[in-house]
Structure 1
Amino acid sequence: MRKCLQSLVLVLVLAGGASSAWADDASDIRAVITQQLQAFKTGDGAAAYSLAAPNIQRMFPSPEIFMSMVQSGYAPVFQSSNATFGPLKAEGPGFRQEVNLTDPSGQSHIASYTLERQPDGSLKITGCSIRKGNDLSA
């Protein structure tokens, strides 16, 4: 009986630690995405680029090339407003974060970001896909 109680306490402690780590990850994820969206709004290519993972930086080898790609291919993200964070999921070695955005015309979009912790402990954006939302913002 005592061994069962010790095991139960250990499970509860570990679950609490995992919950705390998940909350830290969720907070970091929101911060990284928010920082990148703000960098896009202010035209700070270096800051936006610094939040992209190495796989993205290899495809777009300078902040200028990266910003040009985002502006032309991801306009709803580049010019977004009203970002609200939806579901966060663990996915493979990283995370998937849904973000509801509004473009300048008022159309809603859902940006689905993937992020991974890097060897230095930082969190970087590894990808983003966009789909239209179902509503228009007021």
Structure 2
Amino acid sequence: MGIIRALLAVGGLFFAVELVANDRPVITSDFSEVQTKVKSIISDQIDAFNSLDVDRAYSHASASIKAIFPNSTIFGNMVEKSYPMIWNPKAFEFLSISGVRTGVVQRVLFTDQQGDIHFFDYVLENNGERWVISGVYMIQGEKGV
């Protein structure tokens, strides 16, 4: 479990460096179109986890995430063990979305199988070809609201 937390911390560091290093704006199209794509990608990844199609879920990960978790099995094991509310949610709902310099942040409310509520920010970036998930961060202090 310690190695997973270390890898997640490194992943957050990669994301922070990427935010500082990347000056080009990525939202160049109509924002409502971006919102639709972002929700579709997140929904598909969650559906893939629910269907145990870890390869499909992994296909939505950015290159920086894939550098930390080099294959879908490792990635899937991390999500299943560390984020059971995302792996197998009772329900999820999209909340606010905002544009940032390098992409978008979509807040998602998850209800786990025990009925507890968890909030996560999904960070997505456009890699030049498509939108990919570059980080998922639990909003501290919101668990079990």
TM class, shorter-chain normalised?
0.7 to 0.9
SS in 1 for 2:128: coil
Superposition deviation, residue 129 in structure 1: 1.1
Correspondent of 2:83 among 74, 77, 81: 74
**Are the equivalent residues in 2 in contact too, given 1:112–1:129 (CA < 8 A)?**
yes
Letter in 2 for 1:23: S
Superposition deviation, residue 92 in structure 1: 2.3
Q: CA–CA distance in 2 between the matches of 1:64 and 1:49?
A: 9
What residue ranges of structure 1 are gaps of 5+ in the alignment? 1-17
Correspondent of 1:97 among 99, 103, 106: 106
Q: CA–CA distance in 2 between the matches of 1:52 and 1:80?
A: 19
What residue ranges of structure 2 are gaps of 5+ in the alignment? 1-26
Which structure shows the bigger proportion of residues in strand conformation?
1
* Mapped pair 1:129 → 2:137: yes
Q: CA–CA distance in 1 between the matches of 2:123 and 2:50?
A: 21
**Are the equivalent residues in 2 in contact too, given 1:74–1:130 (CA < 8 A)?**
no
Deviation track 1:66-118 (CA, whole Å, cap 9, x = no partner) reads 00011111111111132111110112211100001110111011111000011
- TM-score, length basis structure 2: 0.76
Which deviates more from structure 2 when the two are superposed, residues 40-49 or residues 69-78?
69-78
- TM-score, length basis structure 1: 0.79
Deviation track 1:45-83 (CA, whole Å, cap 9, x = no partner) reads 110000001100110000000000111111111111321
Q: CA–CA distance in 2 between the matches of 1:97 and 1:77?
A: 14
Which position in structure 2 is the counterpart of 1:9?
none
Correspondent of 2:68 among 55, 59, 77: 59
SS in 2 for 1:125: strand
Larger Rg: 1
